Amino acid sequence: MKLAGVKSVERAHEESVWTVAWIPPTDSRSALILTGSLDETVKIWRPDELDPVGTNTGHCLGVVSVAAHPSGSLAASASLDSFVRVFDVDSNATIATLEAPPSEVWQMQFNPKGTILAVAGGGSASVKLWDTATWQLIDTLAIPRPEGSKPSDKTGSKKFVLSVAWSLDGRRLACGSMDGTVSVFDVARAKFLHHLEGHSMPVRSLVFSPVDARVLFTASDDTHVMLHDAEGRSPIGAMSGHASWVLSIDASPDGTAVATGSSDRTVKLWDLNMRAAVQTMSSHSDQVWGVAFRPSGDTSSRGGGRLASVSDDRNISLYNYS
């Protein structure tokens, strides 16, 4: 497996770019890249040449997360202004505006069927679930207190929820918290199942395997990447190699590799069989907040696999993955 640099766009945004996602292809177009920045804008890019095709200016504070609906027709952006804006990808028309208390919106992700949008609730220590047919709030999954803590313990702030991920089958939802724990929920029953432990610092990004609904990959400020059996509560292994915080992680569509972005300014490609980093890319000059593989099934675009990364340096970088 290998990454090869394809193209970088400098000053893609006016300020730090904190989030990136791929918009799946539709019958009428190939996949697109979606980026969000502290400059309050969301931009859409053609992935082959990294040409901008649209700019969304619907937020009044920095954009911290973007997510694409599995259909490729809708996307969502979450901002420090405490709103989630859902919009039509091709027309940029606003479909819905979801409101949460101040700064209670962090990472978000649509479930595999596209029927629910899960939003990490920051200091509310919860994940909110929104029905994508009505855009009504259908549930709030509360993160339980650590075992042995008393109600008077000031542990609530440590359960600040930063990241969310859906399992391949949509049955499980995992979320990463500021205290380094990962919580796993049974979504159909709205039931907390267990914590996954192993990290000692914030878990800013996590992703389930695209080929095995049990396997979860987590990235943390403690510089480690962990592999978990999300059903059995047991760690499968840990990988280390970054010199600083691991801010973002994504899994390759074939399930054999993960890519990570770090505050050490690098993107690393990890071979899951070897449990080791096999390549380090240094195309960014500042910390890398987002990495995202192109979803499988897009045959209308040139090349094979693709990976995009975004950074505090305001740039977007694109790589071939083979």
pLDDT-based confidence at residue 153 (cuts at 50, 70, 90): very low
Identify the burial level of 297 via C-beta atoms within 10 angstroms of its C-beta, where 0-12 means exposed, 13-18 middle and 19 or more buried.
exposed
Residue 280 has a pLDDT of 97
Number of domains in the chain: 1
Residue 206 CB neighbour total at 10 angstroms: 26
Mean pLDDT lowest among 63-72, 108-117, 121-130: 121-130
pLDDT digits (tens, 9 = 90+) for 42-66: 999 999 889 999 998 888 899 999 9
Mean pLDDT lowest among 24-28, 35-39, 121-125, 237-241: 121-125
What's the rounded mean pLDDT across residues 182-195?
Answer: 95
CATH of the domain at 272: 2.130.10.10
DSSP 237-303: EEEE--SS-EEEEEE-TTSSEEEEEETTS-EEEEETTTTEEEEEE---SS-EEEEEEPPTT--SSSS
The whole domain housing 185 covers 3-144+159-321
Residue 146 has a pLDDT of 62
pLDDT-based confidence at residue 156 (cuts at 50, 70, 90): very low
Residue 272 counted as domain residue: yes
Residue 153 counted as domain residue: no
CA distances from 230 to 67, 111, 161, 162, 288 (A): 23, 17, 18, 18, 26
CA 110, 246, 12, 36 torsion-angle sign? positive
The answer on pLDDT for 158 being more than 90 is no
Residue 273 counted as domain residue: yes
Residue 149 counted as domain residue: no
Share of the chain above pLDDT 70, in %: 93
Whether the CB-CB separation of 216 and 196 falls below 8 Å is answered with yes
Residue 24 counted as domain residue: yes
> Both tokens of residue 25?
């292809």
Residue 251 counted as domain residue: yes
Residue 7 counted as domain residue: yes
Whether the CB-CB separation of 310 and 316 falls below 8 Å is answered with yes
Residue 150 counted as domain residue: no
pLDDT digits (tens, 9 = 90+) for 269-306: 999 999 999 999 999 999 999 999 998 765 444 556 99
Could you tell me the pTM of the whole model?
A: 0.93
